[in-house]
C-alpha cells in the first residue's frame, strides 16, 4: 500500500486550486479524478462569471471567499496569461416594487467590502446598455468573465510544476480511517490503495458519496445533496450587450440573466429548478418562460432568437423552501478525523472563490 502526504479527490476548479495551494507549500500531493479530463462536471458547466460578492450574507464564508477570491483570481489570470475581462455587470430593477430590495442589495454588498458600486437611473443605464429597459439599476464594475478551462489548465500546470500528480480516470471507490492516516481506494486501469496524512474531498456532485464511502466517518456529518439544474439559451446573431445584466428577482434565485463569453457571444440563464437526476439535456420546453423573463428588461428580444445552448447542475445542500446555507469546509473540529476535510455545497460563487477556498483548506491542514 502506497503512502502519500496529501490526497485531493476531484480535479474540478476547487480541487485543482487546493492541490496547487498544498503543493506550493511543499506538500506531496496526488489528485484523483474519476473522469478522463479535468473539470468536466460543475466546473465546465457554469457561466464563467467572476462574481463581485454582492449577494451573500455579511460574515459568511461565501462573502469572504468570493471577495478575496475575486481579487486573487484577477491577479492569477493576469500573471498566468489566462483570458478574462472585467466586463462589469448591471443589476436592474424592472418595476418600482424592486427598488427597495435593490438598495438593500447595495448595502449588503458594501458590508461585504464591495465598495465600487454605482447607482444609475434609467437614462444613465440606457447610455451604458441601450437595449436595457428598467426603472433603476446599479453597476458592479469588478464583475467579469474568465476562460474557465484556461484557468483550470493554469492551476493544473502550477500544481504539477510544484510536484503534484493529477491521476485521471481514477475514481475514489472508498476508504477507511486508520491509526496512521486515511486509506483511499482508487479504481481505474491501475487500481491502487493510498494512505494519506491529509485527504481533501473536493468531489462536488460526488462529495457526499465519497464521504459516505470512508469507513469511520459518521454519516450524520454528511449533508443531503440536492440537484439544481440551470438551462442556458444562446442568442443568435451579434450580442446587443457589452456587460452582464442581472435582473432583480422576487424568487429565491436570480432568474434569467445575460451572460457573455470572451467572444462576446450572448447567452441567457440559468433559470434554476430542482431535478432528481443528472440530466444534462437542455429543456427546450422552458424556452417560452425564458422569452417572458428576458423581455422584462430586454423588450426588443425577437421571436425565434433563442437557441438551446448547454446546462449545468449545482450540488446544493438545501432543498426547496429552505434557506441557502454557507459553503461547508468540514474538518476535524466537526467530525473528529485528523487530516480529513470535506467540501460540501461548493457551487456559485465557487469558481470565483476557488483560490480563497484553497487557502482556507491549506491553512486548516497545515
The three cell numbers of residue 115 are 465598495
CA atoms of 283 and 88, how far apart (whole Å): 29
Mean pLDDT for 221-233 is: 97
Last residue of a domain, one of 298, 316, 334: 316
On whether both 105 and 232 belong to a single domain, the answer is yes
CATH code, domain with 254 = 3.30.9.10
Q: Is the pLDDT of residue 265 over 60?
A: yes
On whether both 272 and 257 belong to a single domain, the answer is yes
Q: Is the pLDDT of residue 255 over 90?
A: no
Mention every residue, 6+ apart, whose C-beta is less than 8 A from residue 182.
7, 175, 176, 195, 196, 197, 199, 214, 337, 339, 340
On whether both 233 and 280 belong to a single domain, the answer is yes
- 264 phi/psi in degrees, rounded to 5: 60, 30
Note the maximum CA span of the chain: 68
Query: How does pLDDT run across 78-127, given as a tens digit for each residue?
Result: 999 999 999 999 999 999 999 999 999 999 999 999 999 999 999 999 99
pTM (two decimals) = 0.97
Query: How does pLDDT run across 287-329, given as a tens digit for each residue?
Result: 999 999 999 999 999 999 999 999 999 999 999 999 999 999 9
Query: How does pLDDT run across 169-183, given as a tens digit for each residue?
Result: 999 999 999 999 999
- DSSP letter (8 states) at residue 37: S
Quote the domain boundaries for residue 37.
Answer: 2-45+149-224+323-365
On whether both 307 and 244 belong to a single domain, the answer is yes
Peptide bond before residue 315 is cis, with ω within 30 degrees of 0:
no
CATH code, domain with 6 = 3.50.50.60
Among candidates 40, 67, 55, which has minimal Cα distance to 109? 55
Amino acid at each position: 500500500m502506497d503512502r502519500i502526504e496529501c490526497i485531493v479527490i476531484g480535479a474540478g476548479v476547487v480541487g485543482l486550486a487546493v492541490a496547487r495551494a498544498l503543493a506550493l507549500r511543499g506538500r506531496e500531493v496526488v489528485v484523483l479524478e474519476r473522469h478522463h479530463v479535468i473539470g468536466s462536471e460543475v466546473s465546465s458547466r457554469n457561466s464563467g462569471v467572476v462574481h463581485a460578492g454582492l449577494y451573500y450574507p455579511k460574515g459568511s464564508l461565501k462573502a469572504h471567499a468570493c471577495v478575496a477570491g475575486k481579487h486573487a483570481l484577477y491577479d492569477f489570470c493576469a500573471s498566468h496569461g489566462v483570458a478574462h475581462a472585467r466586463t462589469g455587470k448591471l443589476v436592474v430593477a424592472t418595476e418600482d416594487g424592486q427598488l427597495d430590495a435593490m438598495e438593500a442589495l447595495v448595502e449588503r454588498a458594501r458590508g461585504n467590502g464591495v465598495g465600487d458600486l454605482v447607482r444609475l437611473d434609467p437614462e444613465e443605464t440606457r447610455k451604458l446598455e441601450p437595449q436595457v429597459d428598467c426603472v433603476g439599476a446599479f453597476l458592479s464594475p469588478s464583475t467579469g468573465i474568465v476562460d474557465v478551462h484556461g484557468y483550470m489548465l493554469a492551476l493544473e500546470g502550477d500544481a504539477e510544476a510544484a510536484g503534484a500528480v493529477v491521476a485521471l480516470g481514477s475514481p475514489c471507490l472508498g476508504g477507511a480511517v486508520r491509526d496512521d492516516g486515511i486509506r483511499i481506494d482508487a479504481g481505474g486501469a491501475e487500481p491502487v490503495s493510498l494512505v494519506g496524512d491529509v485527504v481533501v474531498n473536493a468531489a462536488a456532485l460526488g462529495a457526499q458519496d465519497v464521504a459516505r464511502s470512508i469507513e469511520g466517518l459518521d454519516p450524520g456529518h454528511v449533508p443531503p445533496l440536492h440537484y439544481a439544474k440551470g438551462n442556458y439559451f444562446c442568442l443568435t446573431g451579434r450580442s446587443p450587450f457589452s456587460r452582464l445584466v442581472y435582473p432583480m428577482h422576487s424568487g429565491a434565485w436570480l432568474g434569467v440573466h445575460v451572460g457573455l463569453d470572451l467572444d462576446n457571444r450572448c447567452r441567457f440563464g440559468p433559470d434554476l429548478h430542482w431535478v432528481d437526476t443528472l440530466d444534462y439535456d437542455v429543456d427546450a420546453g422552458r424556452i417560452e418562460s425564458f422569452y417572458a423573463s428576458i423581455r422584462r428588461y430586454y423588450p426588443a428580444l425577437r421571436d425565434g432568437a433563442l437557441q438551446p445552448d448547454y446546462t449545468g447542475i449545482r450540488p446544493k445542500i438545501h432543498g426547496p423552501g429552505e434557506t441557502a446555507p454557507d459553503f461547508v469546509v468540514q474538518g476535524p473540529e466537526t467530525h473528529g478525523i485528523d487530516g480529513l476535510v470535506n467540501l460540501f455545497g461548493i457551487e456559485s460563487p465557487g469558481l470565483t472563490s476557488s483560490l480563497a477556498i484553497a487557502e482556507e483548506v491549506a491553512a486548516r491542514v497545515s
